[in-house]
Amino acid sequence: MSSKSKKKPRKSFRPTAPPFIDYLKDILRRYPDGGQILKELIQNADDARATEVVFIHDERSYGTESLWTDELGEYQGPALYAYNNASFTDDDWQGIVTAGRSIKRNDPNKVGRFGIGFNSVYHITDVPCVFSSGHLGFMDPQEKIFGERNEDFLWSLDDAEDQEALMTMHDQFQPFRDIVSLVSKQEWSEIVTEDQRFDGTIFRFSLRNKKSDISDNLYDSNRVADLFDSFIADADLSLLFLKNVTSVSLIHINIHGTVNTRLEVKSSVLTDVVLESENELIIESSTRFKTITLSSGKNKETKWLVTTCTMKEGNVENLDSLAKKLSFFPQVDLAFPCGEKRDCSESRLSCFLPLPNNESNKTGLPVYVNACFGLTDNRRQIKWQEEDQKHDEHAVWNELLMKEVLP
């Protein structure tokens, strides 16, 4: 065989994805810790058509005798829970473990495809847990508890062996028993053995109390109180433009099990006052009164006049093509506060939930403006056409919304 016919082995040269832990760290570096995490969880609930969301800061620690594996003992301490009254679908179970590939991305009616979404909870916890519809699952991205045996930490309510574990491992599942009882008034045994289904969703985020491969960000009671405070600051705007969620509560449970509601915010629409648009060839719009009620010791009620306006297809060519390409919705909502004088400098932009209270998100108008904006990936700012991103499609879309739909 001639030397020319011998081929030396070629070196591999192809792009590869980073390990999942590195991917998570990168998200946490770019994505802010703080109240935005609660907003992401509210958005996911709104997407799932939930009407009620409850956040619970539970300072109790639970037993460590009857556990699925000893390594889970360190996650039996204080936790943040997020409950909503919608159930997981099969797509949801797939989507929550398919990082970076949002199943909502092509649905213009879904809010949750913006930003990094669920993965922001890793600021708080190393082991997120979820109980919904027919399953209870523990996620272990560090593979320290269950190793790589992925099947080991998803329990199914219609499986006899899993049912027995859910009923007999009292310490392991007591946190869920207690929260299920609080939010749904149902018995654990009834859900697990009779219904074999939980109509709702409970996330449990045990607070990180020591440094891990994911983050050295430690969470204690004060940090959760700060999370709640940052949400309370925007509470009167939080339900203004959501499609489904009409109630959000913040609850604190101390080490003795005493339950205290810090805040409850509710929205209601006066359905008997609806003004339809006259210019029906170009836009669809309606105007109605919306009332936001805050309860935290004393009640505060604000009334808003909210107009929703959607540009019909065929009126703005570039808007139509971008709407299809980006899976965005050509809609702008305006909210005017009634019965109280507010300075124009207070008015803010929202992308279904209020954007951070900084100068770039102020409208300078007497109305609050909401739209399906193209945002930076950390959901902090709206993209605009600047010198270095004149052709960014999200920025072009935002300009069209402001120039064509808003007027």
What's the gap between Cα 272 and its chain centre? 32
Provide the domain count of the chain: 2
* Most confident by average pLDDT, 44-58, 150-164, 329-343: 44-58
Query: What letter represents residue 146's amino acid?
Result: F
Q: How far apart are CA 36 and CA 233, in angstroms?
A: 12
- Whether residue 98 is found in the same domain as residue 229: yes
What's the gap between Cα 38 and its chain centre? 6
R_g over Cα of the chain? 24
243 occurs within a structural domain: no
100 occurs within a structural domain: yes
152 occurs within a structural domain: yes
- Whether residue 27 is found in the same domain as residue 115: yes
Q: Residues near 33 by Cβ (< 8 Å), separated by ≥ 6?
A: 120, 123, 217
- Whether residue 205 is found in the same domain as residue 292: no
- Whether residue 272 is found in the same domain as residue 188: no
Range of the domain at 311: 267-405
Q: How far apart are CA 284 and CA 221, in angstroms?
A: 47
pLDDT at residue 113 is higher than 50 = no
Percent of the chain at pLDDT exceeding 70: 89
153 occurs within a structural domain: yes
Residue 277: per-residue pLDDT: 60
9 occurs within a structural domain: no
365-403: pLDDT as tens digits:
999 999 999 988 777 888 888 776 678 899 999 999 998
Question: What is the average pLDDT across 71-76?
Answer: 95
- Whether residue 220 is found in the same domain as residue 149: yes
Please name the residue that has the structure tokens 């709407």: 323
45 occurs within a structural domain: yes
- Whether residue 44 is found in the same domain as residue 140: yes
Which residues does residue 287 pair with via DSSP β-bridges, in sequence order? 275, 307
Q: How far apart are CA 6 and CA 90, in angstroms?
A: 52
- Interior angle at CA 317, CA 316 and CA 318, nearest 5: 100
Q: Are 261 and 249 in contact (CB under 8 A)?
A: yes
8 occurs within a structural domain: no
Burial of 169 from C-beta contacts in 10 A (0-12 / 13-18 / 19+):
middle
186-235: pLDDT as tens digits:
999 999 999 999 999 999 999 999 999 999 999 999 999 999 999 999 99
- Whether residue 170 is found in the same domain as residue 294: no
- Whether residue 83 is found in the same domain as residue 132: yes
- Whether residue 51 is found in the same domain as residue 167: yes
Query: What letter represents residue 79's amino acid?
Result: A
Q: What is the pLDDT confidence band of residue 9, given thresholds at 50, 70 and 90?
A: confident
- Whether residue 138 is found in the same domain as residue 273: no
Question: What is the average pLDDT across 163-185?
Answer: 96
- Whether residue 172 is found in the same domain as residue 274: no
How many distinct helices (H) and strands (E) make up the chain? Answer: 10, 14
Please choose, from the candidates 371, 331, 319, 374, the residue with its C-alpha nearest in 3D space to the C-alpha of residue 348: 371
What mean pLDDT, rounded, does the chain reach? Answer: 87
Which backbone phi and psi does 295 adopt, to 5 degrees?
Answer: -120, 115
* Contacts within 8 Å (CB) and 24+ apart, 88-91: 88/48, 88/130, 88/132, 88/133, 88/135, 88/201, 89/133
pLDDT at residue 114 is higher than 50 = no
4 occurs within a structural domain: no
